[in-house]
Amino acid sequence: MHNPNLRVAIYARVSGESQAKEDTIASQLEVVTQRVADDGLECDPESCFVDDGVSGSILVRPGLEQLRDQAAAGAIDRLYVLDPDRLSRKYAYNVLIIEELDHCGVEVVFLRNPPGHGPEENLLLQVQGMIAEYERAKIMERCRRGKQHAARHGSVNVLSGAPYGYRYVGKHDGDGEARYQIVAEEARVVRKIFGWVGQERCSIGEVCRRLKDEGVTTRTGKSAWDRSTVWLILKNPAYKGTAAYGKTRSGPPKRLRLRPQRGRPEHPRRPASRVDTSLEDQILIDVPGLVSEDLFGAVQDQLEENRQRRRDRPGVGCYLLQGLVVCQRCGYGCYGKPTSRTSAKGKVPYAYYRCTGSDAYRFGGQRLCWNKQVRTDVLDAAVWDDVRQLLSEPDRVRAEYERRLQAAESGPSHEVEHLDKQVKNLKKMIARLIDAYSDGLLDKSDFEPRILAARERLGKLEHECRQRISEASQEAELRLVIGQLEEFARRVSQELQEPDWDTRREIVRALVKKVEIDEQEIRIVYRVSPSPFEGRPQHGSLQHCWGRDDRPLG
């Protein structure tokens, strides 16, 4: 007999590279929700954790991280999942997650291939996880070996695309063989760039200025050339007639991301970094050349000379809020810029947090933002004082928590169910329109405007529904704050009296999500983890206990 008071959660995932073969998110949620209803239970919308288009080979996924945090906080009694490989494609990760949930007292229910309670059933689950991992590795290995075989035979198909100066012609348009086709106007620009650097010994910055003065636009139509774009052109061996396959490979992330980049998701789908490979690991493919090998070699020597002769800059300062400061006006990150010796005038050197959007040279001589700079020492001291006050007064968090709960009593959580019904009804209407058109009951002139209007309405409803679900989930996430911040403050209270610089930086990075600066105000957005200094797998990674758009603690 099922207990109707059980706190139920659902987890669903689909990979971006295998959406055609795997179950879609909608079908997974439909099947799992039906099973929950058959068991006489109900699942709240905020307890439905979804990772759409995220690979199962990685452990850091937004939906999975929230699920693990809720489980660690004791907010879940039973978890429903369609299949064990939805948790992870790797056997080790699968076992780790299941053991962690079991340690937190969460009962995991798989609709397909459910494990039993005996050693034989557990062995079957482990074998299934190993087979799933083996299949994924085998597919990747076959693709890699197939591309290497094609590259050794001089096939251009394996290259990711044609660089500036060429146009990629596929097999269907190239009589069964892909090739690079020279674009005359772009090729002329490439030869100019190599001549300026290899013969006139210009710097990359001078090349960008000359291109802008001559009115040469990039392939995407931008009037300002980025230095990294020019550098990639100068380093690409395809311009001397030998394109290289396998110049880079995927590796582990090089550094910790304190905050997402402007316009980028908070959790990347594939957290990895590109790593350069050695010349021995690269396969050369003949393509039409644009410059001679002598000129290409001269350019490489000039770039190396520029690197060696570059003046040694004074040591780049390491700032307390490095990577956390964001311009509230334009959204670009801020960096620490020390004053020059001339500006200091014999005083103690100091630095400013400066908005990246205010650097005109980054955007073709035009500033994007006019926000003022902020002294690093002043902002660091102000943020640290606020962090110390927050840890010494956990009641501030309790008051903010209660205020937001009162504001959300009639908020989005009551609208999610209504919006979900509207979305389902609209999808049924679209299906009926398509069936009517297929059966000849509707003319094309009547069908097209009606289906376009219905799909536009569906897109708006789905977007609004996602917003309401995100807002409704804040209530559940805020429940993790009470008590946990008090425990964290107690653990670090001994270090708050006279902490060294490293200790202050670790505490700030654990509690502060970002610091937004404007001309008139500075906003500190906090993030509070169930256990900020605990590692995985027992307590998960750092999580935010309120959404990215919420107001900071006042």
* Tokens standing for residue 8: 């139920």
Plot region of 255 (φ>0 → left; ψ -120 to 50 → alpha; else → beta): beta
> Does one domain contain both 206 and 300?
yes
Q: What percent of the chain has pLDDT over 70?
A: 74
**Residue 332 falls inside a structural domain:** no
In the predicted structure, residue 340 carries a pLDDT above the cut 60:
yes
Q: Which residues neighbour 281 within 8 Å (Cβ) at sequence distance 6 or greater?
A: 246
418 or 284, higher pLDDT: 284
The strand pair at 48-52 and 8-14 is best described as: parallel
**Residue 15 falls inside a structural domain:** yes
> Does one domain contain both 210 and 293?
yes
> Does one domain contain both 104 and 174?
no
Q: Which of 170, 285, 168 is nearest to 236 (CA)?
A: 285
In the predicted structure, residue 536 carries a pLDDT above the cut 50:
no
> Does one domain contain both 95 and 197?
no
**How many domains does one find in the chain?**
2
Task: Say how many C-beta atoms besides its own lie within 10 A of residue 551's C-beta.
Answer: 10
Q: Are 290 and 360 in contact (CB under 8 A)?
A: no
In angstroms, rounded to a whole number, what is the distance separating the alpha carbons of residues 235 and 307? Answer: 14
**Residue 552 falls inside a structural domain:** no
> Does one domain contain both 292 and 180?
yes
- The string of pLDDT tens digits covering residues 175-195 is 778 888 899 999 999 999 999
> Does one domain contain both 98 and 180?
no
Alpha-carbon dihedral 530, 532, 535, 537, rounded to 10 degrees: 20
SS3 284: strand
In angstroms, rounded to a whole number, what is the distance separating the alpha carbons of residues 80 and 38? Answer: 12
Task: Grade residue 455 by pLDDT with cuts at 50, 70 and 90.
Answer: confident
The CATH number covering residue 285 comes to 3.90.1750.20
- The string of pLDDT tens digits covering residues 194-228 is 999 998 888 888 899 899 889 899 888 888 888 88
Phi then psi for residue 156, to 5 deg, are -80, -10
- pLDDT value of residue 62: 82
Q: Are 332 and 369 in contact (CB under 8 A)?
A: yes
447 or 404, higher pLDDT: 447
In the predicted structure, residue 419 carries a pLDDT above the cut 90:
no
In angstroms, rounded to a whole number, what is the distance separating the alpha carbons of residues 164 and 185? Answer: 10
- The string of pLDDT tens digits covering residues 241-285 is 998 888 887 777 766 667 777 766 666 666 677 788 888 888 888
The CATH number covering residue 88 comes to 3.40.50.1390
Which of residues 52, 83, 114 is at a domain's end? 114
Q: What is the pTM of this model?
A: 0.52
- The string of pLDDT tens digits covering residues 366-377 is 888 999 899 998
The helix (H) or strand (E) run that includes residue 484 is helix 484-492
**Residue 52 falls inside a structural domain:** yes
> Does one domain contain both 171 and 285?
yes
| Chain center to CA of 24 | 21
Q: Which residues neighbour 236 within 8 Å (Cβ) at sequence distance 6 or greater?
A: 163, 243
**Residue 464 falls inside a structural domain:** no
Q: Which residues neighbour 58 within 8 Å (Cβ) at sequence distance 6 or greater?
A: 270, 271
- pLDDT value of residue 185: 92
**Residue 217 falls inside a structural domain:** yes
Q: What is the mean pLDDT of the chain?
A: 77
* Tokens standing for residue 289: 């050349």
**Residue 212 falls inside a structural domain:** yes
- pLDDT value of residue 489: 61
Q: How far is CA 138 from CA 64, 145, 149, in A?
A: 25, 10, 16
> Does one domain contain both 47 and 107?
yes
In angstroms, rounded to a whole number, what is the distance separating the alpha carbons of residues 152 and 315? Answer: 45
Beta-bridge partner residues of 517 = 327, 522
> Does one domain contain both 282 and 188?
yes
- pLDDT value of residue 551: 39
**Residue 183 falls inside a structural domain:** yes
> Does one domain contain both 172 and 88?
no
Which of residues 114, 147, 176 is at a domain's end? 114
Q: Are 223 and 217 in contact (CB under 8 A)?
A: yes
In the predicted structure, residue 493 carries a pLDDT above the cut 50:
yes
Beta strands in 179-294 (DSSP E): 179-182, 242-245, 248-251, 273-276, 283-286
Q: What angle (nearest 5°) sits at the alpha carbon of residue 311, between those of residues 309 and 317?
A: 140
> Does one domain contain both 91 and 183?
no
User: For residue 73, what are the domain limits?
Assistant: 8-114
In the predicted structure, residue 293 carries a pLDDT above the cut 70:
yes
- pLDDT value of residue 223: 84
DSSP characters over 314-331: PPPP--TTTTTEEETTT-
- The string of pLDDT tens digits covering residues 105-161 is 898 888 876 655 566 666 666 676 677 767 777 777 788 788 888 888 888 888 877
- pLDDT value of residue 151: 84
> Does one domain contain both 235 and 174?
yes
Stated length of the chain: 554
